[in-house]
Amino acid sequence: MKLWQKGIVYQIYPRSFKDSNGDGIGDLKGIISKLEYVKDLGVDIIWLSPVYLSPNNDNGYDVADYYKINPEFGTMDDMDALINKADALGLKIIMDLVINHTSTEHWWFKEALKGKDNPYRNYYHWRSKKNNWGGFFGGTTWEKVGDEYYLHLFDKTQADLNLSNPKVIQEVKDIMTFWLNKGIYGFRCDVINIIYKNSLENGKRRLVLTGLEHYHSTKRNHEILQELHRDVLDNYPETFTVGETVLVNTEQALDLMSPDRDELDLVISFEHMEVDHINNKWFKVKYKPKKMMKTLTKWQEALPWNCLYFENHDQPRSVSRFGCPEKYRLESAKMLATILLTLRGTPFIYQGQEIGMTNGDFKSLDEFMDTETHNIEKLGRKLLIPRAILRKMLFRTSRDNARTPMQWNATTGFTTGTAWLKENQNKTTINVERSLTDDNSILNFYKRLIAFRKASPVLTKGDFRVVNMKKDVYIYERSFNKKRIRIIANMSHKERKINITKKPVISNYNDFNGKVLRPYEALIIEV
């Protein structure tokens, strides 16, 4: 087994993790000061969201220089110190590799603006007319400068790179080499299955993302990944690449991670994050655990190895989404943790998830900082969606729900100044300091689960088999060398009858009741 298969990944969103100098923005020194905490969780790999120079229109996913550190976060010396300390603690770091686009503040783009003959012009996609493509953040994908438009699948300050230009590929190789030589373990590759555009022709009209067929999972996209592997990654004894692959289905995922193709080690799929998406009833969304179970099972059965996650910096908090933060926060967060850490694959934990952080308590749309949220707001107004409905939808879905500062203690744990994004008021009760001393906390439950998983060949290596998915109760088994572990998770607040005689090795209730599964009860049983 590879390290990235045995290990647990912890995602740090630097802006919101820990501020060391009181300016309200998380930074590298802050991360360094909390590395022992991360290590103590039982984590092996840290995924660091972008720390590169950036104007922060998309919090670092708009890179202005791949070789420089965002001064708000610190210096290259701080970055070296972080890598060294992580290494000393036995933690690996993977960095975000954002190569679909750069910030329009990147000097390549500034050069490109100088004229059509400039050698950097062809680093981006230019056209004299717009096409009909729709962007990931809503609206058009073309912005005019002079008499030409450039392509941007995301915000207009994120210009898409032209990966049919071999010079751009060479730049990517140089960037990867630079960071691997600094001692990082690999990359989380941003939107990596849409980087190559076959053509810039009009697309078939779709509700969202018109044009997708021209750039999603193109053949050349696969070849580029193989080339990066052959020319860069293969020069290092052990690396780990996990691709964020939007709108990926199981066949495409299998292609991307097939060992004989050497493209990516692991893919981040989205289907289970869409189970509570908008359906035919306008903005009325009901989460149905059944859909979640079915989707998780489908991916468990289809892929040899999954990227297991319920949260990241783009998704609202899982306990608010799939649990019950008001009445059963502890139980439901622990139930989700149980599933996360017992399925087959590599578990990814997003900062704050381990203490059961909830969605932000935003009161007004002005409190949002996220560019996607604001773009959707504008679009919603254009479509004349009633304001109350739009507000409700954005409060529930905004990416800022996951980006509120990490709740280290009841007061100034994240910053001594004013945080860049509104801190959640429930930090007075939901915080690391309190969780550490409370044996019954979500945090201590995560630690127990992680330790248990790591010591268990059945959970790390074993096969997956679904047993039952009736009435919001997910029952599955993992097995290895004739040993079996059964997981029983009640994914709803309703009590369910059951008949179990064997006591669980881990459970989220302190007493054992073999007759009823209580709200969100989860059991791990060695059978």
Asked if 509 and 490 count as a contact pair (C-beta separation under 8 A), the reply is no
Spatial separation of the C-alpha atoms in residues 383 and 398, rounded to whole Å: 18
State in Å, rounded, how far the first CA of the chain is from the last one: 25
Please identify which residue in the block is written with the tokens 């304001």: 387
CB 161 within 8 A of CB 100: yes
Q: Distance between CA atoms of 381 and 139, rounded to whole angstroms?
A: 12
As a whole number of angstroms, the distance between CA 527 and CA 523 comes to 12
Closest separation in Å from C-beta 81 to Ca ion: 15
Q: For residue 482, give the amino acid letter.
A: K
Q: How many CA atoms lie within 13 A of 36 on its CB side?
A: 1
Pick the catalytic residue: 19, 244, 276, 423? 244
Q: What residue 314 binds from ligand TEU, Ca ion, none (CB within 5 to 8 A, per partner kind)?
A: ligand TEU
Site size toward ligand TEU (CB under 6 A) is 13
**Rounded Cα distance, 222 and 231, in Å:** 14
Site map (CB under 5 A) of Ca ion, residues 9-28, x = contact: ----------x-x-x-x-x-
Instruction: Find out whether 95 and 190 touch, Cβ atoms under 8 Å.
Output: no
Under the binding rule (CB under 6 A), the answer on residue 399 touching ligand TEU is yes
Query: In angstroms, what CA-CA distances link 9 with 48, 92, 110, 446, 508?
Result: 10, 9, 36, 13, 22
Q: Name the minimum Å distance from CB 19 to Ca ion.
A: 4
> Which residues 6-65 are close enough to bind ligand TEU by CB under 6 A?
58, 61
Name which position in 80, 227, 271, 314 contacts ligand TEU (CB under 6 A): 314
| CA atoms in the 13 A half-sphere facing the CB of 94 | 26
Indicate which single residue of 27, 44, 72, 190 sits in contact with ligand TEU (rule: CB under 6 A). Answer: 190
CB of 68 to Ca ion, least distance (A): 17
Strands 306-308, 496-497: pairing is unpaired
Q: Note whether 194 and 153 are within 8 A (CB).
A: yes
Q: Is the dihedral of CA 76, 82, 87, 92 positive or negative?
A: negative
Q: Does 133 bind ligand TEU (CB under 6 A)?
A: no
Is there binding between residue 477 and ligand TEU (CB under 6 A)?
no
Binding of ligand TEU at residue 317 (CB under 6 A)?
no
78: contact with Ca ion by CB under 5 A = no
Mask for 237-276, x = binds ligand TEU (CB under 6 A): -------x-x------------------------------
Binding partner of residue 19 among ligand TEU, Ca ion, none, CB under 5 to 8 Å per kind?
Ca ion
Does the footprint of ligand TEU cover residue 160 (CB under 6 A)? no
159 binds Ca ion (CB under 5 A): no
Nearest distance in Å: CB 419, Ca ion? 10
Number of H helices, E strands in the chain: 16, 22
Member of 35, 98, 430, 458 binding ligand TEU (CB under 6 A): 98
Check residue 191 for interaction with ligand TEU (CB under 6 A): yes
Q: Which does 21 bind (CB under 5 to 8 A by kind): ligand TEU, Ca ion, none?
A: Ca ion
Do residues 459 and 453 make contact, with C-beta atoms less than 8 angstroms apart? yes
Catalytic one of 190, 331, 377, 521: 190
Q: How many residues bind Ca ion (CB under 5 A)?
A: 5
Q: Is 160 a catalytic residue?
A: no
Strand stretches in 164-275, DSSP E: 186-189, 240-244, 266-268
Contact in structure between 323 and 333 (CB atoms under 8 Å) = yes
Neighbours of 522 (CB within 10 A): 27
Residue number of the CB atom closest to Ca ion: 27
One-letter identity of residue 479: S
Q: Residue 190 Cβ, how far from ligand TEU at the closest point, in Å?
A: 5
Examine residue 152 and tell whether it contacts ligand TEU (CB under 6 A): no
Please identify, using beta-carbon distances, which residue of 209 and 458 lies nearer to ligand TEU. 209
Which of residues 25 and 161 has its CB atom nearest to ligand TEU in the complex? 161
For residue 244, indicate whether it is catalytic. yes
Cβ 372 to ligand TEU shortest distance, Å: 6
- The site string for ligand TEU over 330-369 (x = CB under 6 A, - otherwise) reads ----------------------------------------
If you write DSSP's letter for every residue of 137-163 in order, what string do you get?
TSSBSEEEETTEEEE-SS-TTEEEB-T
Which structure tokens are listed for 224?
Answer: 């580029």
Please report, as ranges, the residues that interact with Ca ion according to CB under 5 A.
19, 21, 23, 25, 27
Active site residues: 190, 244
Please report, as ranges, the residues that interact with ligand TEU according to CB under 6 A.
58, 61, 98, 136, 154, 190-191, 244, 246, 313-314, 372, 399
